[in-house]
Amino acid sequence: MDWRPYITIEPGKRGGRPCVRGQRIAVSDVLGWLADGQTPAEVLDDFPDLTADDIQACLAFASAGGSPAGQTTQ
């Protein structure tokens, strides 16, 4: 999956940490919830603004080394 349409980096938001679609939900938040044992369905229930594709993009971003290379800021 190409994570770039889903993961944004804005210097003034969450300290410039990668976030999901410009929201204040950081990739590291999503990964932390999953690592703590929440299922994707539970994350989606808790955060209805997220989509299954958002979660998949977070995983793809992490799999790519969490590097925003080629990512433009908005």
Domains, in order of start, for the chain: 7-63 (1.10.10.10)
Q: What is the pLDDT of residue 66?
A: 82
Read off the pLDDT of each residue in 61-71 and give the average, rounded to a whole number.
Answer: 75
Lowest mean pLDDT among 26-30, 48-52, 69-73: 69-73
Q: Nearest CA to 34 among 15, 23, 50? A: 50
User: Which residue type sits at 17?
Assistant: R
The token pair that represents 73 in the structure block: 């800021």
Q: Nearest CA to 10 among 47, 21, 31? A: 21
| pTM, full prediction | 0.86
